[in-house]
Structure formats: C-alpha cells, structure tokens
Amino acid sequence: MLKNRSLRFKLSAFILTGTILVAAVLVSYYYSVSRRLILESARKNARHLTMETVNSIENVFRSAAKIPENLAYVLETGMSDEKGLYRLMETVVKNNSEVFGSSIAFEPGAFFPGQDRFSPYFFKDGDRIVQSNLDDPGYNYHLQDWYQIPKELNLPVWSEPYFDEGGGNIIMATYSVPFRWLNDGMNKNKFRGILTIDISLVWLKQVFEGLSIYDNGYGFLLSQSGKYLVHPDPDNIMNASIFDIAELHQDEKIRELGRKMVRGQTGFVNIIEPVTGREVYLCFAPFPSSGYSMGIVIPAKELFADLSHLNRSVAMIGVLGLLALFGVISLISGRITKPIRRLSEATSQIGQGDFNAVLPVIDSHDEIGQLMRSFQKMQTALAEYIENLKVATAAKEKIEGELRIAHDIQMGIIPKTFPPFPDRNDVDIYGILESAKAVGGDLYDFFLLDEDHLGAAIGDVSGKGIPASLFMAVTRTLLRAKSMNMKDISPGKIVTSMDTDLCTENDAGMFVTFFFIILNLKTGELEYCNAGHNPPFILDETGEITALDTVHGFPLGVMEAEPYQTGKVKIRPGARIVLYTDGVTEAENEARELFEEERLLVTLKKMKDIKDPKEITLSIKSAVKGFTLEAEQSDDLTMLVITYLGRNFNQE
Amino acid sequence: MSLKTKQNLFIPIVWVCSCILLTIKSVAADKPLTLVLHWVPQAQFAGYYVALEKEIYLKYGLDIKIKAGGPNVSVNDCVTSGSAEFGTYFLLNATKLVAQGVPLVNIAQLSRRSALILVAKKSSGIFKPEDMNGRKIGIYQEEFSDIPLAFIKNNNLNVNIIPIATGIHIFLHGGTDVTNVMWYNEYHTILNCGYNADELSTFYMSDYGFNVPEDGIYCLRSTYDAYPEVCERFVEATMEGWLYAFQHSSEALDIVIKEMKAVHIPANLAHQQWMLARMQDIILPDGGYEFSTFLSEETYEMTGRILLKNASIGKLPAYDQFYIPVGKYAEK
C-alpha cells in the first residue's frame, strides 16, 4: 500500500504512527495507574466511611442492649415484687431516650404461680409513660419471634425490624434478652422469661442521609434477612430484600452480594446496579451486634469523573500536538527529500542517455551529500566508461577488419582456381577450406613439380585464429620452397626437411598434421608421407576404397626425430584420392555425435562412378552438413579430391 | 314442512328460557354475593381478584364482593353467619368442619396437589426424614399441623415440636432445625433471605403419601340448594379469572399488588411473582390450561384417613355429603 507513496508520505506516516503508538501506550499506562490509585483511595475512603457509620450505629445498639442486659441481671438476682418491677421498667423507659418501650414476658407460672401469661409492657406515648400488658390470649406472646427465638437460642437477639402499628407506624427493632431463675433451688438456671426493649430505627435513615457520597452515591442498610431498612427507593424499605431485587432482575451477582452481606462479610466490589444499570462500586460491612449490614454505593462515573475530564484534555492536547507534529514532519521531510527528488529527476535524465545532465548542488555532508558526491563520481565514471567503450569498439572493429583481410590473404595463398590445370586431361582436382573462425589453421595445396609429377598436401595446424593461420602460411611456404628447391625429391624428404625448419624457433609450440603426396601422372605411382594426419582414402576406378593408413611420424613442429619415410602405392586411372582434415570426421551434430569415418566411407561408396572431384567434394560436404544440421561448425572443414585420369585412360 | 313446525316451536322455547335466565341473572345481580378468602390479598388468590377486576364475574351475571382474610378474619364465621356466600378453605380444615357438623359443601377443588414442605438446612446435617430424630421441628398451628404431625408419626420420628405462630425467622436464626412452609410462600421467603435451594433439604409432603390438595371453594349446602346455577357460574367465572391470571401474569400481579397496597400490606413483587407461578404449578400440575375442579373420592378418603389417624375427627362425613361436582370443570 505504501509502496507507491512518496518518501515524504512514508516518513510522515511512520513517524506519526510511531508517535501515536508511544502516546497511546503512555496515556493508557498513565490512565490505568491513575484509575488504580483513584480506586484504591476510594476503597479506603469508602471503607473508612462505612466503618465510621457502622461504629456510630453500633454504639447506639450496644448501649441500648446494655439496658435489658442490666435489667435481666437485676431480675435474676431477686426482683420478685410486682410494684418494684413496674417502677423499674417505667424508670428504664423514662430515662433512656432511645428506648421506646420495654416489656418483661414470663414463662407460664414464672411470676404468678398458675398464671399462664404475665407480660407487663411500658412504652412512651408522647411525654407520658404508659403501662400496658401483652397478655392477650389471641396474641399469645409465647409464640412470637421476639420471645421464641431468644428462648430457643438461649441468647439475646435483635429482632428483624418491623413496623410498629401501635407506636406511630415507625420502624422499630426489639432487643430480647432471656433471663433465668438464679436462686430458686428447684428451677435453678431454668429459663424464666424474656426482657425486651424496643428502639426506634427512624434515626438510621437520618444517619444514612447525612452521608456524603459523591453527587449521586448513597448508603443502604439491610436487615439480618437482607430486607432493606434504609434505601433511596422508599418502596423497597421494609418490603423488598436485596434477594428480591436480584430475582426481579435475574442478577446472580447481586444475589451473591446479598448472601455475603447477610453472612456478615466485608468487601468492596464492582457491580452493575440492577435498577439503574449504572456501574457502581460498593463497600459493605456488617453490624456485629444486630447482624444488619450496610453498603455504600459509589457511581463509577462520578468516581472517575476527574480522570475522565483529565483524559479528555489530554486527548485534545494530544490531537493538537499530533497535528502540529504532522506539520513539522511534513515540512522537514519535504526539505530533506527535496535534493533527493531533484537527484531523482537528474538520474532519470541520465538514464535516458544524457550523461551531461546537471546534478543538483548540495553542500551538506550528510548521507544525501555523500550520495550526491558518489553520484557525481558515478556520472563522471559512466561518461569515461562510455568514451572508453567507444574507443574499444572502434579498436575491435579495426581488428575484425584486419582479421577479414587476414582470412582473405589466407584464402589467397590456397589455390582456388578450379579446374587448376584446364589444359591437362590426366588429372582433375577440387578443394575447399571453410574456416570455423574467420581465420583457420587448415591448409591444402597442390602444384606440378614437373610435367609428370603432381604434388598435393593437406594439413591441420594446432589451434585456431591468427597464430594458426600464420603457422599454416609458414607451412605452405616451406612446402613450396622445399618442393621446388630439392633434388631427388620424395615426400618423406620434403616432410622431414619441413619438420626441421618448423621445429627451429618454434617457441609457441605449434604443430601441424600434414599429409603430402607426389603422384606420377604418367605411371600412377603415388608416393606419400603422413605426419600425424588423418589417413586419406583412395576410391579406385572400380569403386573400392583403400585407406592410406600408414603414419610416418608425429605432426610437424613437435620434435625433430627420425626422418619421415615415404609410402608408395600405385593407382590406376579413374582412381580418386580423397584428402581431408578432422573437420570432416569430427564434425559434431547437436547431440554431440561425431560424423566419423564410417559415415565418410558410406558417402564415398555412393561416389563409385563419379569422377568429377568437385562433385565428390560437394557431396561429402553436403553429407557433413546434413549430419550436423544447425550445430555450430566446430572446426575448419577442408577437403582435397584428386581424380587421376591417366594418359591411357583418356586415350581409351 | 315439518322443519317449519319445529321452528315455530323452537322460538317460544328460546324466549321462555331467556326470560328464566335473565330473571335468575337479575336476582343474582341485584343481590351482591360475597366471597371471603382465607388469607390477606396475595397471588394465592390472583384468580379471584382478576375475575373481579376484569369484570369476568360481571360477564357471568354475578355481582361479587371479595372480603380479604387475615389474622382477624374467620372464613368459617363469615360463611356460617351468612355474611359471605362463598369462602375458600383448605381441604383439611373444611373436612374437619364438616365432620364437626358445619353444613359446608365443596363446589370446586382448585388446588390439585399439596404445597406443604418441611425444610431443613443441609448444614444442620438433615438430608432424610430419619435425620430429624432428636431435632426441633417448628410447626404452624392449627390448619397446617395435621400433615406434618402425620408425617412425624408415619416415620416414627422422635422430635421436639416447637409450635410456631408465624414466620420463618426462628428457623433462620437456628431456633428450629426443621420448619413447615408452603411451597408458594414461606419457602420462597427462605430463598430470598439468602439461602440457595441447593443449601436446603426439602421434604415435599406430596412425596410422602400426604398429597392432600389445599385451596377449594365452599358454600353452605343451603346456598347451593337454592342457587345451584349461580354456584356453577361463580365457579366457572373464577376459573376464567385464573386462566386470565396465568396467561397475563404481570397484569395479574399488578392487580394483586394494588389490592395489597389498599390494605397496607408490604407488596413484594418478586415474592408475588413466585407465588403466582407456583399457584399455576398447583392448579395446573400437568401444564397447559386444562382446569379441573373435581375432588376425587380417593383424595377425600386419604384426607379423612390422616385426620382420623391424628384423631382430629371422629368420623369422616360421606363423600357426596362433602363434595358436589359443579360446572364444566368438575367432570372427572
């Protein structure tokens, strides 16, 4: 995606992305740490406030609880006078502002023998203290929770809060303390009755309303069974329990919270308030004496309001900063990449062949300056190189021209006029030399030594190119010189003499395979000498093929050794002598197979009745070309065919 | 031809019947009838309140007044004194009253199964009836006590019976180990005091051979004899009220809660919701909406046996003296 964008764009994109990433990491780290700190501090504050509230309320409950506990002690240690009992109860109600009423309820017969129920009750009615009793058989106090529970548990118990219909319909709770016979011998330590005080719980609401918990936080109070005693929603008070709310909203988390609270656990949790659906933090703690439990609810939104505000500011600063950064990066990257852009334009000019394109001037010593200088050097070097290339190309063209001339000269020293002896009818000759390279190392030659003797030779110089062609020229010159100036000539003598000369000063270590014949045109006697060359074939007048396969020594120029011998055969008129170089037998096709002697012999067999040396030569050539097809010619292709007609032959 | 003759006959018959029907209707409508319920307004009686509020009684040509029960109201006093024509009773109590000579008849057995449960906290180590040996069992007085006592006897339990007037707090505080509760009422209160169902051992009396159904509609035999057709319409209208209540539960709950607030009773929606759902389980135990108000002789006999065994009655009144199948839902 970025591939086709400018350097300026990429630079800006990468730097900005990097900056945004770093900023995001920083901000989120800072945010999470701040959040944790705020939460931790809120937890501490909420815990502190909760415990403070619990303690202040506990104090009231504890001090109220002391009253019946002390009274029970008085009863147990011997209060048996009815009037005294009433006086004591009236005093208790009168002197304790938090106490709304107090009762003493006896087991059957435990005060007046034979009386089932005896339960005097004193309570406040405005400023008056009113005496009453709870003996109504329909009410049957022995079966009431305030009596039955402490009796069965044998423990003082705070009751579930209740609406007191008689006492002005206010929420009350009753503290019931069991007391026993202490001194009565028969009933010693036996349960005797219950002593109660009723206290109003109206003040609890005020305590909770006085709590300052952010803007919309609040506190609530649950009874032992999870019922709401204090809650912002009046419909819940003394009606619904936290478990009812959980059930209505099918909220297991709230139910679990309720279970923890009524079991007297303490905690700080993060929940979704079922009614409002807002996220809140809740700190809860129990009241050890009554088994009630309170909670403080802090709306998360308000808790983190400052942080959110700060976050918004940070985000705004961040956005502005990034915009500014974008501007600066854009400017700087534009300035940095400007010379590169100019360089790029210049290089594209150079690329189109304008080596003199003007490069931008840069004084800086940074990478771009270095690049520019390197580029200048490259431009100069390139120009020089192109110049050199021109010179070299010219030189090469000159050499190639000279090679062509050399080839022409080489071809010039080889007899190429056919038929060579148009006046004679006893012999006909045809030869070809096709070089693999412009200048080859093969040679053939023929000449008349006298009226009756024809000298002919074929050779193949080691190597190719100019050296080979020069060596070939020397060989040919030597052949002519030796043949013309030697008395009592024979091929062996001439070849030996040539070898001697060629070996002298042959520092280049070149050599030439050489085959030389002298044919007596009168008699058909054929003398020959083979210095390491392919044996020629004689195709006689009947079509029989014989190889002149005697080899008389190494190729010429290798070393001075024994003199080369001369071989002799006699041929009859109509015989054809086929001389060739290894360019024929070792011609390669594309499969790298060689033409081989066999194919040459097959070709020769077809020439049984053909006397024309040109036709024979060209037939062999076309057989070779038919074999090699498209393969590159690997060696010089040289042949010399001599048809011996003889004098008698023509006369016949 | 013959068809025409029949038509001519048919019209006066329809006219006469309509007149009779209208007369009865107007008589019944002129004189308001009172139904007294055996407890304060709650979803246990949703069908009656819905039938009244949705004018189903009116549709059946009945002008019904509902008198709420409560601790200070005796259903039997209201019915026998004639201040109420109809009353709801538990089957057990009605059987006892009839055995004592009160001329009541059951004209619809609404409840189809017992809702009575004994509950214990698993933490107290009670998992089966034998585990209750030597423990304190809280038992509600009077009408609720017969079956738990029979259960104790049947299982040969040696327990400490604590009579309870009201509430489950003594059980929650640990003052009793086992308590008897109604499935649709106090059992839910225990759950919503923070006890999970899997923390409680429950002994459904219906599983222990005491499947005595509870709520039914009763009137004096004389009332039925005088107005059998009114009784029939009353029962059928009531069942239509229940059908509506079950099919429109939140509307039914609104109606019930309105009634509760009218008499200043704490109206706890979650609790009433539970109660209505359980009433549906009790009135329609097989699911669907196929009501039956039929009281089988077997159920009646079984109820009688429990009462006889507890010596709560001396002699079981005859089945047809106690129960009259009334209306279309009373077919077997």
**Per residue in A623-641, pLDDT tens?**
988 888 888 887 888 999 9
Contact B192 A244 (CB under 8 A): yes
Q: Read off the tokens for A348.
A: 């594209």
Q: What percent of chain B has pLDDT over 70?
A: 90
Least confident of A37-51, A120-134, A393-407: A393-407
Asked if A506 contacts A447 with a C-beta cutoff of 8 angstroms, the reply is no
Confidence bin at B31 (pLDDT 50/70/90): confident
Fold of A77-200: Beta-Lactamase (3.30.450)
Chain B: which residues have CB within 8 Å of chain A? Answer: 136, 141, 162-167, 169-170, 172-176, 191-194, 196, 266-271, 273-274
Residues of A in contact with B192 (CB under 8 A): 226, 241, 243-244, 247
Burial of A394: CB neighbours in 10 Å, binned 0-12, 13-18, 19+:
exposed
Residues of A in contact with B169 (CB under 8 A): 145, 149, 159-160, 224-225
Give the C-alpha distances (Å, rounded to integers) separating B247 from A11, A188, A403, B250, B251: 70, 62, 117, 9, 9
Dist CA A497 CA A488 (whole Å): 13
pLDDT at residue number A184: 65
Confidence bin at A650 (pLDDT 50/70/90): very low
Cβ-based neighbours of A338, under 8 Å, separated by 6 or more: none
pLDDT at residue number A438: 62
pLDDT at residue number B63: 95
Confidence bin at A7 (pLDDT 50/70/90): confident
Burial of A129: CB neighbours in 10 Å, binned 0-12, 13-18, 19+:
middle
- CA B33 to chain A, closest CA, distance in angstroms equals 30
Dist CA A90 CA A592 (whole Å): 138
- Short-list A563, A571, A534, A525, CA closest to A444: A534
What is the mean predicted confidence (pLDDT) over A333-361?
81
In A447-560, which residue ranges form alpha helices assigned H by DSSP? 465-485, 491-503
Cβ-based neighbours of A153, under 8 Å, separated by 6 or more: B173, B174, B175
Least confident of A196-200, A471-475, B1-5: B1-5
What is the mean predicted confidence (pLDDT) over A88-106?
90
Nearest CA in chain A to B273: A248
Q: Which residue has tokens 């009531």?
A: B238
pLDDT at residue number A166: 61
pLDDT at residue number A378: 84
Confidence bin at B135 (pLDDT 50/70/90): very high
Q: Phi then psi for A43, rounded to 5 degrees?
A: -60, -45
Segment (H or E) for B76: helix B75-81
Q: Read off the tokens for A465.
A: 């190119």
Dist CA A355 CA A346 (whole Å): 10
Give the C-alpha distances (Å, rounded to integers) separating A68 from A64, A84, A93, A240: 8, 16, 11, 31
Least confident of A403-407, A522-526, B26-30, B242-246: B26-30
Asked if A564 contacts A500 with a C-beta cutoff of 8 angstroms, the reply is no
- CA B43 to chain A, closest CA, distance in angstroms equals 16
What is the mean predicted confidence (pLDDT) over A393-401?
88
User: Would the CATH topology of A7-59+205-303 be identical to that of A77-200?
Assistant: yes
CB-nearest partner of A241 from B164, B166, B193: B193
Least confident of A5-14, B104-113, B169-178: A5-14
Give ∠ CA A73-A78-A80 in degrees, rounded to 5. 115
Asked if A627 contacts A592 with a C-beta cutoff of 8 angstroms, the reply is no
Which amino acid is located at A169 in the chain?
N
Domain ranges of chain A: 7-59+205-303, 77-200, 414-651
Contact A153 B174 (CB under 8 A): yes
Least confident of A79-83, A391-395, A455-459: A79-83
Cβ-based neighbours of A441, under 8 Å, separated by 6 or more: A460, A461, A462, A463, A464, A465, A468, A469, A471, A472, A512, A636
Residues of A in contact with B176 (CB under 8 A): 152
Nearest CA in chain B to A255: B194
Nearest CA in chain B to A262: B194
Q: Read off the tokens for B115.
A: 């809702």
Least confident of A417-431, B39-53, B210-224: A417-431
- Short-list A409, A472, A465, CA closest to A439: A465
pLDDT at residue number A322: 87
User: ipTM of this model?
Assistant: 0.83
Who has greater pLDDT, B266 or A264? A264
- CA B268 to chain A, closest CA, distance in angstroms equals 6
- CA B165 to chain A, closest CA, distance in angstroms equals 5
Contact B268 A244 (CB under 8 A): yes
Cβ-based neighbours of A318, under 8 Å, separated by 6 or more: A23, A27
Other Cβ atoms less than 10 A from the Cβ of A295: the count is 24
What is the mean predicted confidence (pLDDT) over B164-177?
90
What is the mean predicted confidence (pLDDT) over A231-242?
89
Dist CA B205 CA B129 (whole Å): 11
Q: Which residue has tokens 């087991």?
A: A107
The 10s digit of each residue's pLDDT in A510-551 is 889 999 999 998 888 999 999 989 899 999 888 889 888 888
Other Cβ atoms less than 10 A from the Cβ of A639: the count is 27
Q: What percent of chain A has pLDDT over 90?
A: 31
Contact A239 B266 (CB under 8 A): yes
- CA A67 to chain B, closest CA, distance in angstroms equals 23
Contact A148 B167 (CB under 8 A): no
Asked if residue A374 has pLDDT above 80, the reply is yes
Fold of A414-651: Phosphatase 2c; domain 1 (3.60.40)
Residues of B in contact with A143 (CB under 8 A): 141, 163-166
- CA A162 to chain B, closest CA, distance in angstroms equals 11
Give the C-alpha distances (Å, rounded to integers) separating A353 from A374, A382, A391, B88, B149: 19, 11, 18, 114, 118
Q: Phi then psi for A578, rounded to 5 degrees?
A: -110, 110
Contact A144 B165 (CB under 8 A): yes
Dist CA A551 CA B262 (whole Å): 146
Contact B136 A245 (CB under 8 A): no
Nearest CA in chain A to B173: A149
Residues of B in contact with A239 (CB under 8 A): 266-268
Q: Read off the tokens for B186.
A: 């106090």
As a whole number, the mean pLDDT across chain B is 89
pLDDT at residue number A652: 40
- CA A78 to chain B, closest CA, distance in angstroms equals 28
- Short-list A362, A390, A391, CA closest to A376: A362
pLDDT at residue number A84: 86
As a whole number, the mean pLDDT across chain A is 87
Dihedral over Cα of A471, A472, A474, A478: its sign = positive
Asked if residue B332 has pLDDT above 70, the reply is no
Dist CA A265 CA A243 (whole Å): 16
Contact B170 A258 (CB under 8 A): no
Dist CA B67 CA B73 (whole Å): 9
Residues of B in contact with A160 (CB under 8 A): 169
- Reduced to 3 states, what is the DSSP secondary structure of residue A108? coil
CA B259 to chain CA centroid, nearest Å = 18
pLDDT at residue number A140: 86
CB-nearest partner of B173 from A157, A244, A262: A157
In A201-359, which residue ranges form alpha helices assigned H by DSSP? 202-209, 242-248, 252-262, 300-303, 305-351
- Short-list B163, B175, B308, CA closest to A155: B175
Q: Read off the tokens for A448.
A: 């008349």
- A128-133 vs A228-230, strand pairing mode: unpaired
pLDDT at residue number B23: 43
Nearest CA in chain A to B175: A152
Residues of B in contact with A274 (CB under 8 A): none
Asked if residue B14 has pLDDT above 50, the reply is no
Sheet strand arrangement including A637-644:
A427-434, A637-644, A575-580, A537-539, A545-547
Contact A225 B271 (CB under 8 A): no
Q: What percent of chain A has pLDDT over 70?
A: 96
CATH number of the domain at A7-59+205-303, please?
3.30.450.20
Asked if residue A384 has pLDDT above 90, the reply is no
Cβ-based neighbours of A487, under 8 Å, separated by 6 or more: none
Asked if A642 contacts A456 with a C-beta cutoff of 8 angstroms, the reply is yes
Residues of A in contact with B269 (CB under 8 A): 240, 244, 248
